[in-house]
Structure 1
Amino acid sequence: MQACSTAFRPAAATVARPARSAAGLPILAVARPKRAAVPAKAAKKEIQLQSTLAPMVALAAVNPLADFLQGQADYFSTLGLPQWLVQWGHPGNMAVVLFAMGIYGCGYLGWRIRLSEDAGEVAVAQDLHPKLAVGMTIFFALGALGGSMSMLMQGKDLWSSGHFTTGVIGLVLLGLQGMLSAFFEDDPNARGLHAYFGSAILALFLVHGALGLQLGLSL
């Protein structure tokens, strides 16, 4: 019976012995490999590099444009164009765009959409208004290149006048104005903001035109 009880005695729980190294010393734990942490100084340096690269990228885009415009200005200067055309060609074209596409197409027709009670007039305005607004933006962008070449052909500084500054601001605001139309369906206030914001942009371009006239008379 003793032998039988001994045979059927539950086995004691086995305890794993710690592994031992080649030198016979116990190995308590093995660390899981982890990715090396980036030092704070290195992270700060990376942020500084990114903030430094931003204006460098902008300058990299401006310099080729300036070189392109200078090359075009040098070419057109060899054609013997009349001085009055070089000086007043850009202002004349942009005045037509501003009043025909801007004041009438964007301003007048835009407000007729909001205020008119004539369904036929509203339908015509809704058809023409976005087309003329897009056309004005495109012609203003192309006109900015033409005006820059005109300044270079006359040996003037390209980007230092108030006329240039208001033109750049106006083009940026036109892009934002166009984006507002994407929110007409979701936000009922977007149409009102679009109308008043567009009127403010047209006022800015009137100031831009006055500064351009002043600049042309000073050349």
Structure 2
Amino acid sequence: MPAMSAAYAERPSRLPGAVVWTKPAAVCGDSGAAGLVLPDGCMDLIWTGGRLLVAGPDTCAFRPGPGQGGPWAGVRLRPGAMPALLGVPACELRDQRVDLAALRPAAEVSRLIGRIDTAPDPAAALEDLALHLAAEAPPEDGLVRAVASALAAGRGVAATAETVGLGARQLHRRSLAAFGYGPKTLARILRLQRALALARSGVPLAETAARAGYADQAHLARDVRELAGTPVTSLLRA
């Protein structure tokens, strides 16, 4: 198996809006906050030796368990993009890691695994697979992208529904299929990601909370604990 870098790494994908990432075995086994995979509204196509998986949208932090030590390569698609590639509503995969063979013909998946396992660069081979699936899929839904963009920018759910011309129930139903959960949950997860980006760039936590849309720093701390399962200070140190 080809050696990967000594740490987690990512780069923009040739698939618009996607990211290609790699994570070696030594880092996958990290304990504490460093080993957490935080919810981000995205879904991933993942390779690890002999397996192809789909990571559904998470509602809380995920930590690889025993036997899930890696190494890994993945293609992370932007919120709402994966269901069209798989033909499966995102809500059916929420908080799950599912073998691709459960969603596509087993013989086809077995061939794909063999090809990626023996590739000089498994991450590049996995990216090629994602590009192939995207080429076969229906065009990405512009309304779904508009919803994700509005919520990522901090717009409220009601304002987002009005912007895209949907009622509250319609927006909730479309969000379940596209993102795996309702717009309020997606907005909360994207707010967490905005806050972490600000804090990691050096913005003080009180200012981070205000700029990300929290009532105060205590509100930010509670949200991080509930979604990540660890204090915000521990998360930032990791």
Larger Rg: 1
- The normalised TM-score by structure 1 is 0.23
Q: Which has more helix, going by share of residues?
A: 1
Give the TM-score normalised by structure 2: 0.21
